[in-house]
Each structure stands twice: as structure tokens, then as C-alpha cells.
Amino acid sequence: MALLFKTHFRLAKTSIKENRTRSFLTCLGIAIGVASIVLILSLTGSVSNLIKNEANEIGSDLIVVRPVSKKDSISNIIAEFTSSNTFEQSSLSLSDVTAISNIKDVSAVAPIVTSTNTVGSEKNTFSSVPVLGTSPDFIKIEPLALRFGTFFTNGNKEKGVVLGHMLSLSMFNTINSTVGKTVTIMGERFMVVGVLDEIEESINFDNVDFNNALIMDTESLDKLMGSTQVQQINIKAANTDSLAAISDEITAKLKENKSGDENFTVAYGDDISHPASSLFMIVSGILALVAAISLIVGGIGVMNIMLVSVAERTHEIGIRKAVGASSQNILMQFLFESLILSVLGGLFGIILGYVLAFLLSIITPFAPYINWQILVVTFVTTIIVGIIFGIYPAIKAASRDPIESLKHYR
Amino acid sequence: MGDSNIIIELKNLTKRYGYGDAESYALKDFNLTIRRGEFIMIMGPSGCGKTTLLNIIGLLDRASSGEYFLNGEDVAGISARRQAKLRAKKIGFIFQNFNLIEDLPIIENVALPLVYTGYSKTARLKNASSIISRFNLQEREYYFPYQLSGGQQQRVAIARAIVGDPEIILADEPTGNLDSRSSHNVMEELKAIHSEGNTIIMVTHNPALTTYATRVINMLDGHIDTDIKTIADQNLPQPISVKIKNRKVKPEVVLGEIEPSKKRRRRKSHRRKK
């Protein structure tokens, strides 16, 4: 059997070599499909890597509580994006934040409350400014640096706000003298106590664009808006050894708070780094679908070429059968050929995909991301494509009647 | 089935084409017994069922009804896979139009049947090469079929038919596409193969070739018209068992014969001298 495999392999190699241009073009079809899959997998990998790196930067003592919403189903995600309502019904509330802060070994708790609001300066007003509500502990957890001023403290949290780098520039045309100026939100006046340094990574696990955001205390925001939805709670543990114990305790406390419902997740370590944005997941999902379609087109190319090859070699099939080849032998011979075509295309595609990923990394912050899972997934995919699109021509070849085939001439 | 010298036995073989009004018979209640070592020529007008008979004997085709015993084994109803196996091991085909694979060199064409009987590549090429040299084509081993004359191509085809050492050789008008000189050569080759004890069944239109045969069958409309034996059964040539048995080529140097300890010592002393 192994001997026959070797022979089939050799035969396929000869046949592919003989029709070099044709084989190359067929491989190219597969290669383009595989390259786009590799590119997308590399991109998603690199994004979650960025988030992971950020989580590492923050430290290993971070615990994150997120609500589990009905967000997981696609129709809800679409509803979320099509409606103008950016507030999401969250299962977390400010009382949960208080509950968590009472747990011992928790050194800092910062809720993340996001909303958009109209913010006014002396000169003009800006609509749709992302407003982030959090606690003074936020700066202890996040590695955010302030360019000027300080973060608001327990002392001035009622009236103090912090501006993102870009927001400061666009509201006051400066970052130097913004501290001390007044902004107006829903008629209430607040004082700018600090301006954030510019942040290069646009993606983080809080899912907040800090450069354009206005940061204020949760309680003030709560008063302003009437009610708030807590999107996420970041918790800093006193020591890294007791992360599991603390997260268990948080789970128990919150469950008690919510009369037994477990509609939230508590994550620490690597679990935090799962891409937070569902939009990102949707986009990469759609891209993967497009890539899969191009791979199917490539597979059809393989099938087409194999059908031509079977038609061209009918006479050969007849001769082989006459000298003792069984239908299985013929089937394997042609299946091997399509397998080799698609696997060759796959290898070519992996290289092409990483070249593209590298070129993309020059203009974007996404570094090419290589791991064995991606390589295995694409390799297995090409084998499956080779079999799926090769089996029909191979069966067609195998089922040829030897007597009829012998009469067949090119 | 007591007689081990009977290699093929056909009983009431019928091959029908079409159904209803379009029904026609290529073979009808055909009976034939072939002994080991016979050289049979089948003659007859076109469409009398000669080629159909050859295809059925060669297990390329199946009869509509009837029995077919090959070496005493009923092969009429066996699976396609088993048919292919028997074809590879017991039967060699020679065709009128040579039927060589144009993309393969002569040596690989000759080695083709060995692919399906489990020989390694080296063993295949070795066997093919020795058969080719028997036909005086050794200088053309790596020529392609289109570079050879018709007579040479047919000799290659004969080489392919006998490379797997089959018991039966089926030839369908092997000289039909050849000039008289080449066909004489081909017939001489077949005669030599026959004298080694092979059974040959050959279809031909040329009455002059019947001098080579030990038995001449004339067919008419799917049945035997005349059946003449020119040699008594006991005088038929019997196989000399010169079989190709080395399935996988053994390494020529047997490792056990080298004495590793001695070799090592010699090396060490060599180093010391340096």
C-alpha cells in the first residue's frame, strides 16, 4: 500500500510537471484563497496580541468583570449597531462596584461607564463626545500617563474631569493651558484637572478611545444622566497569588447581589485579552467568509483542471486498467494529483499571506502573527479542499469503462 | 475440474448488447476449453464476436450469462477489484494499436503492469530493463513511444505483456497495423514466448499467420464454426518456471559480512600515524 502511495505521488508529480503553466495557475487560485485566510487569521491574532500585551503592561494582578448580555447572538449585535441607542442594557450596576470594593485583598476598583454627550467649552460645543465614567482608582489600574495636571481624586471628583489628548486639542486648540478651564455638560460646569498623554494603541481591553474621551467620576455622571450602565469593572488585587480566590469571592458577592443570577463573567490573566469589540469580531468574520469563498473558487479551479486532465488521459486510464489497475488505483492516482495541487497552492498561499501581513504591518500597528494553529488550520483546510474538489473527477476517472477508454484517442 | 492442464473453460457464455428490439448477441451459448500451452488463433469476419470474446477472457468485460473458469476458479461473478488483480497477475494484453502511454518512456511503459502487483520502483525498472534487452531495444529504453517505429512499438507492447510473467497472453490483431516484415518479427517473438510454455490467444484476419498456431478457431455470428488442432494436447510446450521472484531488490552488500571491529581498529591506527 505504501509502495502504491509512493507510485501515485510520483505519477502526480510527473503529470503536474508536464502541465506546468496549467498547474501553476490552478495553484495560484488556491494560493489566493489561502493567503487571504492567513492574512485575516494573522490580523485577528495580532489584535488580540496587542490587547494581551496591554493587559500584561497593566500587570498580572488585574481582574475584569464584564456583563454577559444577549450580545452573543448575531441579530442582537446587528440591532445594537443599527439603532442609535449606544447604551447597552448591562447587568452590572454601581452597587456591584461598591460590593466588590468591600472585598479584602482588593486594592482598587474602577468601573467603566461609557456614554456620549454634548460637551461645551467657553467658545463652542461638541456633540457625541465619548464620556467615560470611572472612579479615582482608575489611574492606579490603568497605565495611563497624564501630560498635564493630575487625575481627579476623592477630594475633587465631584467637579473635576480629565480630557483626552485629542479632545483637549480640538476643544481648546491647546494642551498646555487646558488645566483649570471649564467645560459644560448638560448645563453643569466642570473643571479640567488633567490632560492625558497621547496613546498610540487604539485598541485596548476597555474598548474606549482614550484620546478623544472625557473622563469623569461615575457618581457625578450618574447624577447627570439619572441612571448609568456599568460596562465593565476593573479590579486590582493586592497580591497576584490570590487572583483565583478573589475572583471566586467576587462571583459569590455579585451573585448574592443579583439574587442568584450569574449574568456576568469574571476574567483574569490571559482571558482578559479576548477581543472586546464585537464589531471587530463581525468584521473579521465577514472577511473570513469572503476568504472562504475565494478558496472555494480556487477549489473549483482545481476541479476544472482535474476534469480536463481526466478527459485528456482517458486513453491512459484504459491502458492502466487493461494492465491491471483497479478502479481504486485510478481513483487514488487522480486524487493524489488534486491533493498535491491544492497543498502546493496552500504552501504558496501561506507564504503569500505572510508577505501581505508583513506589508500591512508597515502601515498599521498590526504585526504579523505566526503560530502553529494558523499553519495547521490552513494546511488541513487545503487538504480538505483538495479532497472535496478532487474526489468527483477522480471518481469519474475510476468509473471509466476500460474497453471504451481504449478506443478513445486524443 | 480434475485436469490441471485446462487453463480456461467457458460454458454457455452469452454476451448480449441492448434490450428489446435493439437486442443483439456478440456471443451466444459459447463453449470453449483451452489447455495450458496452446497457441490459439481466432479468425472470422468483422463483428462475429472475436474481440468481445477476448475482452471477456481478459476480464475487461463481463458476460451477460454463462460460466467462466480460470485455472478452475469461477471468475464470472467476482468483484471488479479481484478482476483487476487477476488481470495484473495472470493476463497480458497486446493490442492492434499498441496502446502505449505516450507520456512515459519505453522502460516505464514496460514496467507498468508491475506497478499494480506491488514491485518497488527499482525492481520494476530492473525487470523491465531485462525484458527490453531481450527484444533488442535496450538502447531505446528512455525513448518515448512516438520515437519508435510501429514494429518496435509493438515489440515494446509485447514486452509489457510478458513482464509480469502472466499465464495467458491475449493479442488482438497484433500485426494489423504492421508491414509484413515487422509482423514477421512480432510473430517470431510470440512464437518464442509460446515455446516457453505460455498460452496465447490471438485474434487475426491474416490466414497466413495460422502456421504459427497450434489451434485455429473460426468464428461466425457469436459461435464456433470450425475448430482445428494442429498439435496433439500432450505435445504442447509446458511452462519452464523461470519466474521473477525478487519482488523487492535485496541490497547487494550484506551488512553482516563486514567486520565492524576490524574496520574501526584500522581507522584508529591510521589516525595515530597522523
Residues A167, A212 share a domain: yes
Question: Does A6 contact B121 at a Cβ distance shorter than 8 Å?
Answer: yes
In a domain? residue B1: no
Confidence of residue B257 (pLDDT cuts 50, 70, 90): very low
Q: Chain B: residue nearest A328 by CA? A: B81
Q: Chain A: residue nearest B169 by CA? A: A323
Confidence of residue A134 (pLDDT cuts 50, 70, 90): confident
Say yes or no to pLDDT of A319 above 90.
Answer: yes
Residue for cell digits 473570513? A288
pLDDT tens by residue, B28-65: 899 999 998 899 999 999 888 898 999 999 999 999 99
Confidence of residue B252 (pLDDT cuts 50, 70, 90): very low
- Residue of A232 and A72 predicted with greater confidence: A232
User: Which residues in chain B have Cβ-Cβ distances shorter than 8 Å to A15?
Assistant: 103
Q: How many independent structural domains does chain B possess?
A: 1
- Residue of B240 and B74 predicted with greater confidence: B74
Domain coverage including residue A193: 69-262
- Measured between alpha carbons, how far is B117 from B246 in angstroms, rounded to an integer? 12
User: Which residues in chain A have Cβ-Cβ distances shorter than 8 Å to B62?
Assistant: none
User: Parallel, antiparallel, or unpaired: how do β-strands A182-185 and A214-217 relate?
Assistant: unpaired
Angle (CA) A104-A108-A112 rounded to 5° is: 125
Residues A169, A43 share a domain: no
Q: What is the pLDDT of residue A58?
A: 63
Instruction: Provide residues of A within 8 Å CB-CB of chain B.
Output: 3-4, 6-7, 10, 14-15, 18, 315-316, 318-329, 402-403, 406
ipTM: 0.83
Residues above pLDDT 70, as percent of chain A: 87
pLDDT tens by residue, B144-160: 999 999 999 999 999 99
Question: Does A326 contact B117 at a Cβ distance shorter than 8 Å?
Answer: no
- Residue of B186 and A154 predicted with greater confidence: B186
Mutate to test the interface with B, among A323, A336, A403, A408 (most CBs of B within 10 A): A323
Confidence of residue A203 (pLDDT cuts 50, 70, 90): low
Residues A248, A384 share a domain: no
Q: Specify whether the CB–CB gap between A149 and A179 falls below 8 A.
A: yes
Domain coverage including residue B18: 6-273
CA distance A388 to chain B (A): 24
Question: Does B121 contact A319 at a Cβ distance shorter than 8 Å?
Answer: no
In a domain? residue A379: yes
H-type helices in A189-277, by residue range?
218-225, 243-257
pLDDT tens by residue, B170-205: 999 999 889 989 999 999 999 999 988 889 999 998
Residues A220, A348 share a domain: no
In a domain? residue B183: yes
Residues A166, A39 share a domain: no
Residues A78, A42 share a domain: no
Residues A143, A13 share a domain: no
Q: SS3 breakdown of chain A: % helix, strand, coil, rounded to 5? A: 60, 15, 25
- Measured between alpha carbons, how far is A259 from B69 in angstroms, rounded to an integer? 84
Say yes or no to pLDDT of A4 above 80.
Answer: no
Residues A235-251, mean pLDDT to the nearest whole number = 79
Say yes or no to pLDDT of A368 above 50.
Answer: yes
In a domain? residue A272: no
- Residue of A395 and A250 predicted with greater confidence: A395
Residues A286, A226 share a domain: no
Instruction: Provide residues of B within 8 Å CB-CB of chain A.
Output: 55, 58, 60-61, 80-81, 84-85, 87-89, 91, 93, 95, 99-101, 103, 112-113, 115-121, 160, 164
User: Which residues in chain B have Cβ-Cβ distances shorter than 8 Å to A321?
Assistant: 60, 84, 87
- Most confident stretch, A274-278, A367-371, B90-94: B90-94
Q: What is the pLDDT of residue A84?
A: 47
**Nearest-CA neighbor of B239 among B173, B187, B166?**
B166
Residues A315-336, mean pLDDT to the nearest whole number = 92
Q: What is the pLDDT of residue A222?
A: 81
**Nearest-CA neighbor of B200 among B16, A399, B189, A88?**
B189
Q: Specify whether the CB–CB gap between A370 and A42 falls below 8 A.
A: yes
CATH code, domain carrying B78: 3.40.50.300
User: Which residues in chain B have Cβ-Cβ distances shorter than 8 Å to A325?
Assistant: 84, 88, 115-116
Confidence of residue B264 (pLDDT cuts 50, 70, 90): very low
Question: Does B101 contact A4 at a Cβ distance shorter than 8 Å?
Answer: no
Least confident of A22-26, A248-252, A289-293, B244-248: B244-248
pLDDT tens by residue, B93-105: 999 989 999 888 9
> Which residues are paired to B30 by β-bridges?
B13
User: Which residues in chain A have Cβ-Cβ distances shorter than 8 Å to B123?
Assistant: none
Q: What is the pLDDT of residue A284?
A: 78
Residues A313, A187 share a domain: no
Determine the angle formed by the axes of helices A278-312 and A372-398, rounding to 10 degrees.
30
- Distinct helix (H) and strand (E) counts, chain A: 13, 10
Q: How many independent structural domains does chain A possess?
A: 2
